[in-house]
Amino acid sequence: MGNNASLVDTLLQHLSIAFKIRDLGAPSFFLGIETIKTGGTLLLSQRRYMRDLLKRAGMTECKPLATPAAVTQAVSLATQPFENPTQYQRLVGALQYLTITSMDLSYSVNRLYQFIHAPTDEHWGLLKRVLRYVKGTLDLGLRLSRSGSADIHAFSDSD
């Protein structure tokens, strides 16, 4: 993929000498990431992956939330272990993959990862909150657009 077709063709020719390759054309869905072209931008979305994740957690009909974590509520030192730590581990691992296009989940998911070896009922509640946030962000993704400069620009909404 690139903005110079002849350069892309040259690269593919060089690669075909060393490797057996096949051009599959423009990407549409790869490794759980859907690419959607809209005008001059490309949207990377994991909507299908998010729906599958909610289904695995049994939360397809949950109410969405506007934030992935409560700002004012601290994690207490609960001692009641969660009854199914494997489920917690699988879902937190799946959420980690989701941070490719949803960087806003990074802090919350990494916080959940700190308890991966011994999750408690409270940690399960925090995980469910993150999944409710995911439910509310199904239509969001990572937007890539063309730029005339080589400068890197980043935007953040700290609210």
Q: Phi and psi at residue 55, in whole multiples of 5°?
A: -65, -45
Instruction: Check if the beta carbon of residue 62 is closer than 8 Å to that of residue 135.
Output: yes
> Is 38 part of any domain?
no
Name the more confident of 12 and 76. Answer: 12
> Is 42 part of any domain?
no
Q: Which percentage of the chain shows pLDDT scores above 90?
A: 51
Name residues whose C-beta falls within 8 Å of residue 29's C-beta, 6 or more positions apart in sequence.
Answer: 35, 48
| Most confidently modeled range among 22-36, 73-87, 92-106 | 92-106
> Is 57 part of any domain?
yes
Check residue 125 and give its pLDDT.
Answer: 92
HSE-CB for 2 with a 13 A CA cutoff: 9
Rounded-to-integer distance, Cα 136 and Cα 66, Å: 7
Range of the domain at 129: 47-136
Check residue 132 and give its pLDDT.
Answer: 97
Q: How confident is the model at residue 59 (pLDDT cuts 50, 70, 90)?
A: very high
Rounded-to-integer distance, Cα 135 and Cα 53, Å: 10
Rounded-to-integer distance, Cα 84 and Cα 8, Å: 49
Tell me the pairing of strands 142-145 and 41-45. Answer: antiparallel
Rounded-to-integer distance, Cα 149 and Cα 109, Å: 33
Tally of domains in the chain: 1
> Is 35 part of any domain?
no
Check residue 151 and give its pLDDT.
Answer: 84
> Is 4 part of any domain?
no
